Amino acid sequence: FSSFSYLTLHQRIHTGEKPYQCNQCDKDFSRKYSLVQHQKTHTGEKPHRCNQCDKVFSQRIHLKTHMRTHTGEKPYQCNLCDKFFSWNDNLKRHQMTHTGEKRHQCNQCDKAFSWKSDLTKHQRTHTGEKP
């Protein structure tokens, strides 16, 4: 590491140390910068505006991620096939089609699902609840 402070930040990944606490919601952070960015969620400050649709964001990284809806950029590639995805969550969801992992079990029948949201939808078949 180029400096002791970078080493300290890196070590927090392993130790789980989060010395910076939000005084609004008690959420903890390993970096002061992350705390400052988080605190904008409480103030409502949203200084980052999309120049395509005028949507505003509290953090620059959220604007950057949002821009993929306009550009079609897909930086996340499945390492098991040739598919690309705009968001990491979509990649993770897709990868479960390869592994067959189904962690969410219905307590009324034998069906299991990869995602809790799919289980929730399925459970409506038992309750008759409409979406």
Task: Residue 21: give its domain's CATH number.
Answer: 3.30.160.60
Q: How confident is the model at residue 71 (pLDDT cuts 50, 70, 90)?
A: very high
Q: How confident is the model at residue 131 (pLDDT cuts 50, 70, 90)?
A: low
In angstroms, rounded to a whole number, what is the distance separating the alpha carbons of residues 39 and 23?
A: 9
pLDDT value at 40 more than 90: no
Asked if residue 98 is part of any domain, the answer here is no
Asked if residue 24 is part of any domain, the answer here is yes
102: left (phi over 0), alpha (psi -120 to 50) or beta: beta
What mean pLDDT do residues 95-113 have? 91
Asked if residue 116 is part of any domain, the answer here is no
Q: How confident is the model at residue 1 (pLDDT cuts 50, 70, 90)?
A: confident
The structural domain count of the chain equals 1
